[in-house]
Amino acid sequence: MACISTLFFLSARVPMQFRIKFWELTACKRKTWLSWSLQRCCSSDTSFSSFDHLSSGLERYRDLQKYFRRRLKDAYHRFSNIPDYSVVSGHHHLYFTEEDGIYRMDKKQSHLEPEQVLNLRQISGELEKTGLENNKRKQRFQWTVQRIRLSPQERHLAVSLKCTHTEELRCVVVRLERRRFLPLHPQHVTLTLEKVFSFEWATDEILFYSTLEGLRSSAVFRLDLTSSGSRITSVFEEMQPDVFVEVALTRDRQILTINCNSRTSSEVLLSDIATSNLDPFVVQPRQLNLLYHVEHWRGRLIILANTGLGQEYQVVQAPVSEPSMDSWVSLFAPEPGTTIKDMDVVGDHCVLVARTPVSELALIVVPLIHPKNAYIVQLPSWACAIKTKKPGLADQQNMLEFLISSPVHPPVPYCLHPENGLLLSGTGDGSSPENQADYITTRLEACSQDGTFVPVTLFHTVPVEHLGQAPLLVHVYGAYGRDLNMEFYPEKKVMLEQGWALAYCLVRGGGERGLSWHRQACVGGKRRGVEDLQACLHHLFSLGVSSPSLTALTSCSAGAVPVGALCNRHPLLMRAVTLQAPFLDVLGTMEDHSLPLTLEDRDEWGDPVGNPEHRHIITSYCPLHNITPQHYPSMLLTAYSGDNMVPLAGVLKYTEQLKKAVHTHSSMKPKSECKPAPNIALNIQPGANHLGTEDFELMLEEEALKLAFLYMELGLDPPRPPRKRRR
């Protein structure tokens, strides 16, 4: 699928679930809760320096954390077998991942024992260390399978691996041969490529790939496998520091694309795999504020470009022989208020993922032969996230398979036949036994300070008018043009079952209502995201949903900016806050050009060094630089020692200053007038993964700690497990 969110990703402080398909991962992104079940990674134990001395304020939650850890482990195992499209279909075999490696099963002889293709323990063994000291904890280094690519005739397999904690990337190329006599003996590893970011097969012997150096992907290489060995040659190098490069195949596998994207421009190069000439050529040279993505259909390019009304996305076409913008002809533009989120070409149809004016997901099918006959396919009203299946070598090309989910609805498989509009659910009625619960999805709109209506999605189990005493967890992001992550997470379902209401505020700065929704909250408009969040809370309270004393806010990465700013301005609107890998020192980070993301982030936050007005704007809302002695909500901040996107120093500085402000405020008031001081807890974990560990057990510890924190700070009684019936 043409994941247009890549056009905004670049190396931003964003959720990983869309990082191109970076970690395919995808997203923002810890791939998904299912990968944490340890079914798709291999680990080895080694030591690390403890960061416990930096953590603080956690002991009071430990007992309750143990309880929630058991509850969450049961919940995750309960959903360990739902679909996730992890099986790859070749011409002759099905490929799947187990804990210790990648296996394949013969389609015609399924009774045979699965054959191991790649042994991950051999790779993990390279990181094993001996002589662990007794006073050091063990760290689980895992190699997690990110993506698998089969060559056109299934002669080779390429797989990308990511090492947790270190974020090391590696691509392993395996030569696939006839079945070995010993089924557990792995196939031959041809070679290993380091720091590979994206890769695609052009032929059975030619692999194109891009590399990741630090947080920048700028070079594309070509690997030729020959009878005498291999040869690597440079294909392309991007010189602009803010441009991110990836390689991809069109859905029909006829065109290989080199996508060069910044936050303000796109440039795509094509290699026609159907011909012997693989030299790439440019579709449309980059142009400021022009974003586009390319698919292929019958010798023509189907292009998703922001050349529509208000610089929003529309679909255009051009011949491959004349691909430049002068040849672009409009095929389809959505109605005002409807925004295109993604595009795929399925058979003779263009299928668009769209968000309607009421913020619901829908599919728009555009017949490429008769584009005026476009039609809309409605999805269930609870659908908040969609994940499409990349077709395997032997999969049908004339249908679209996808999963839909919500934070509290597990993924449900669907299949769309665009030629007749037939939409089939893998469960028959579009639900699963887990989805039959009486969950309510309510779409709301809150009026912000400037009159803009901000979408809010509320999940609850009782009517809105009965939510006055319900604890409320509010989610927000609002940056980089990224949609708020609304995929399924078992812990959200657990909370809903325990009577919580869950609100998702789609504030400006995100991409939920198109490119303009993002533009309105860039640089000088950043305050709008804070105002939107405040308006959402006021609207929920006015409807009788919960109250400030039962309300908690949660966010990650750059989503900490509106949360932190609101805590400074109106700290009594919430009782507690949880932040993960929080970006809190906007001013200090944007002043430091030695940091990896500062220069390319200027389009989002501004340039406080070269522009005095930008400096004034950032200073007005930056969470760290606006801390003042007052009664703050309790906070749990989780950060990672090796995180290159959000420097740990900023989190530590914020925590220190916040604690000082809390202490100063308490000492200014007579004891008779003092409220109980808020608890400021800091959880520093090892590793470089921006959004947390991919180790299942460590992830459970983190999520259980968050729940323990929320229950204690909101004064809630922990839920009691159901009593077992006596026999």
Residues known to be catalytic:
557, 643, 690
List Cβ neighbours of 201 (8 Å cut-off, separation of 6 or more): 149, 150, 151, 152, 156, 158, 207, 208, 249
Report helix, strand and coil shares of the chain as percent, to nearest 5: 25, 35, 45
Cα angle 283, 288, 290 (rounded to 5 degrees) comes to 50
Which token pair is 45? 């134990």
* CA atoms in the 13 A half-sphere facing the CB of 521: 35
Dihedral sign for Cα 321, 325, 326, 331, please: positive
Dihedral sign for Cα 401, 511, 690, 57, please: negative
Cα torsion 238, 240, 242, 245 to 10°: value is: -10
Give the type of residue at 591: E
For the chain, how far is it from start to end, CA to CA, in angstroms? 53
- Burial (CB < 10 A; 0-12, 13-18, 19+), residue 188, is exposed
List Cβ neighbours of 727 (8 Å cut-off, separation of 6 or more): none
Q: Which of 596, 564, 593 is nearest to 580 (CA)?
A: 564
CB 528 within 8 A of CB 515: no
- Give dist(CA 659, CA 669) in Å, integer: 16
- Give dist(CA 580, CA 554) in Å, integer: 8
- Give dist(CA 607, CA 593) in Å, integer: 10
Give the type of residue at 536: C
- Give dist(CA 416, CA 351) in Å, integer: 10
Which token pair is 386? 């969609």
